[in-house]
Amino acid sequence: MAAVALLRKLMPPPALCGFLLLLALMFMASYAAGAAVGPVAPGMHETGTSRDGDDGGGDGGGDSGGGGMDMDMGGTHRSDGR
């Protein structure tokens, strides 16, 4: 009996085991759905890499960051201390 009590004391709570099992099942289901659908944009390649082996050319280099959108928040910070 003492061994069973010690084993129960060392085991995580059943709710935690159930949550981890549910988390694993959700991950496997989402992975299977993504694998079944396939690539969303088959023509899209990583920026700055060349698929055909040559180092010249490409699609123009790196990422400009932000996609050309101006992130000016205009007047959201006050200079009068309020």
Residues 33-69 have pLDDT tens digits of 999 988 887 777 777 655 565 555 555 555 555 555 5
Q: pLDDT value at position 23?
A: 98
The answer, yes or no, to whether residue 15 has pLDDT greater than 80, is: yes
Q: pLDDT value at position 27?
A: 98
Higher-scoring residue by pLDDT: 30, 81: 30
Higher-scoring residue by pLDDT: 77, 8: 8
Q: How far apart are CA 31 and CA 8, in angstroms?
A: 34
Q: Of how many residues is the chain composed?
A: 82
Nearest to 48, CA basis, from 35, 64, 34: 64
10 Å CB burial of residue 2 (0-12, 13-18, 19+) is: exposed
Tokens representing 41 are 């944009």
